[in-house]
A and B are shown apart, each in its own frame.
Chain A
Amino acid sequence: MEKAEAKRGKWWFSGWQKRIVFFIFLALFPLLLHDPVFIHVLVISCLFGMMGIAWSLIAGYTGQFSLGHCVFFGVGAYTSTILYMKYNLSPWIGMFLGALIAVLVALTVGYICLTLRGPFFALATMAVAELFRIFAIYLKNLTGGSIGLLMHFQPNFVNFIFRDKNSYLWIILSLTVIFYYVTRSITHGRIGYYLIAIREDEDAAKMLGINTMRYKATALAISAFITAIGGTFYAQYILYISPYEIFSFDISIQLAFVSILGGMGTLTGPILGSLLITPLNEFLRATLGEYQSLYLVFYGIVMIIIVIMMPEGLLNWLKILSKKVLFKRANAPQNI
């Protein structure tokens, strides 16, 4: 194995060089694409990948299975959109205000729900999501009720509205990279270990001097912040939001899906998971969309197959696979 590693080091770049090459590639990548459908799928994949990272932080690392993340998504989307439509405030600012409000919501919800454990926390978050949806429907003056809010198409950087999809791709790529590294810096330090300890055994964690409530709330707040940013991005990308789409269980489930399929408790996992299943979802919807919800049946079937094939997530599956390949290569007879 070590030999194989050393050999790889010679013809491949070192860590930071690799990273720079990767960033340059990411920055130039949108310029190479022209097919709007392909770009759309990438944008959505990236968006869910980013929010999957956020979900992974609270569920994968901390072990708190939130099934109400659409709340934060919606708070982000509605805050920036309402501020933009009513007060003409740039969604760029609205995005951060929305994220901050989402943090406040997370801390409030967390104060109540994070005392609950396991499935009870999941149930409570689902209930909170339902509550927000009902509010969004009934507060007609603010949210447009069930009709939703439709933004006028006025392409402008300040308005966070663009004519070409490439710009959106570029923005979401940047956001994803930023939040990937932000989350990574958290999970690789003291707090990251605390979160894992809470996931593994909360009582034992307390006995090691960890204020478990505080760190669970911190993780939820950070997760909410990122998810809310995703919400604003979504609103600006689609230019239409409605309670049924935004505060929907589907969104919460999708975040869980990409993280679980990608690999729980990892940060690259959700991105990989999203790159795998979001295109699948979009493809099935496009091809089978005319038969109403038939695509969901296929989506479900594929999902089950993936879970059975890779119970530990895509990332771990790839790791095992690459190990096998490397191992084979290292042990291959030399004289053939």
Chain B
Amino acid sequence: MRRRIFRTVMELLELRNVTKHFLGLAAVNNLSMEVRHGEILGLIGPNGAGKTTVFNLITGYFSVDEGDIFFMGSSIRGKQPFHICHMGIGRTFQLGRPFHGITVLENVLIGAFNRHKGIREARRETEKILDMVGLSEKKDVLAKNLNVEERKKIELAKALATKPQLLLLDEVMAGLNEAEIMGALGLLGKLQQEGMTLLIIEHVMSAIMTLCHRIVVLHHGEMISEGPPRKISADERVISAYLGGGYHVAPG
């Protein structure tokens, strides 16, 4: 993985006063936040807080009503999703959207074409990624025949195959059992060590608290808190809006 040695900008991604309305309802309201190079940033909040909308705005699926989004210092507002992918932002979908009619390998291969135009190199990259996420044995299975965990894995593999600098993960751990979550945590940690920056939406609190360097909490499309996990878990507003009483991070 390429590491940027000279960083002119500290922020890899910056949202500046971003607002998005749906029929008068503000899904995201005047949101300003940044994702720093090499960090794992968690995005949490109750259902309907606008987390996935933020992802859709960053990746260009929704147009930004007001404000601006910067990736590596340049504005990506109004850019098409495929262009944003070329620039280096990868993304998984909440419910997983594999291409059902083709095999796992082919699914990931399509992602790999983003950086490798030749089919042979793309295939090599694909094999590597399948190995990394643990789908090698399933590579010739049709994507529609995968179980929940494998669906999450293929979603991740497809996004990884595009070789992003910033990876947006939308609930990759939802529906997984504890062992599977541990596996996913290990994988994400490894990705971060290799230099990838991660922005993750997650409801599995234990995972978010152990994995993330910083957390941003959304509520009704607005940021109500931001900071390291320990600060978030102690924040009164976060507890009342989302966590509920009685959630504490284990000391140490």
Which positions in A face B, CB cutoff 8 Å?
Answer: 189-190, 193-194, 196-197, 199-201, 203-212, 265
Contacts and interface: CB of A to CB of B under 8 A. Distances in A.
B180 to A, nearest CB: 22
Nearest to A201: B97
Contacts of A194: 110, 113
A204 B99 contact: yes
Nearest to A265: B101
B110 A206 contact: no
A230 B85 CA distance: 39
A265 B106 CA distance: 15
B113 A204 contact: no
Contacts of B80: 206, 211
Nearest to B161: A208
What 3 A-B pairs have minimum CB-CB distances, sorted nearest first? A200-B99, A209-B114, A209-B85
B102 A200 contact: yes
Interface of chain A, helix or strand or loop or mixed? helix
Interface in B61-76: 61
Contacts of A208: 82, 85, 110-111, 113-114, 158, 161-162
Contacts of B100: 200
A212 B99 contact: no
B40 interface: no
B109 interface: yes
A210 B158 CA distance: 13
Nearest to B111: A208
Interface string B72-111: 0000000011110110001101000111111000100111
A197 B82 contact: no
Contacts of B4: none
9 contacts: A190-B113, A190-B122, A200-B101, A204-B98, A204-B158, A206-B82, A206-B85, A208-B85, A211-B80
Contacts of B93: 204, 207
A205 B162 CA distance: 11
Interface in B117-172: 117, 119, 122, 158-159, 161-162
Contact of B106 (A193, A209, A211, A212): A193
B59 interface: yes
Contacts of B90: 207
Contacts of B158: 204, 208
B85 A207 contact: yes
A209 B91 CA distance: 11
B101 A196 contact: yes
Nearest to A193: B110
B99 A201 contact: yes
Given A189-B119, A209-B85, A210-B82, A203 B97 contact: yes
B78 to A, nearest CB: 15
A194 B97 CA distance: 15
B110 A197 contact: yes
Contacts of A206: 61, 80-82, 85
B97 A204 contact: yes
Contacts of A203: 61, 81, 97
A200 B159 CA distance: 16
Contacts of A190: 113, 117, 119, 122
Contacts of B81: 203, 206-207
Nearest to B100: A200
Contacts of B122: 190
Nearest to B143: A200
Output the residue of A201, A204, A208, A209 with the most chain B CB within 10 A: A209
A196, A197, A208 — which one has the most chain B CB atoms within 10 A of its CB?
Answer: A208
Contacts of B98: 204
A8 to B, nearest CB: 22
Contacts of A212: 82
Contacts of A197: 99, 110
Interface string B205-231: 000000000000000000000000000
A196 B82 contact: no
Contacts of B86: 209
Contacts of A211: 80, 82-83
A193 B123 CA distance: 12
Given A190-B119, A197-B110, A206-B80, 5 more contacts: A201-B97, A205-B99, A206-B85, A208-B114, A209-B85
Nearest to B86: A209
A265 B81 CA distance: 26
Contact of A209 (B99, B101, B109, B162): B162
A189 B159 CA distance: 20
A205 B91 contact: no
B99 A196 contact: yes
A199 B102 CA distance: 11
A193 to B, nearest CB: 5
Interface in B184-221: none
A265 B102 CA distance: 12
A313 to B, nearest CB: 13
Given A190-B119, A201-B97, A207 B91 contact: yes
Contacts of B99: 196-197, 200-201, 204-205
A203 B113 CA distance: 16
Nearest to B102: A196
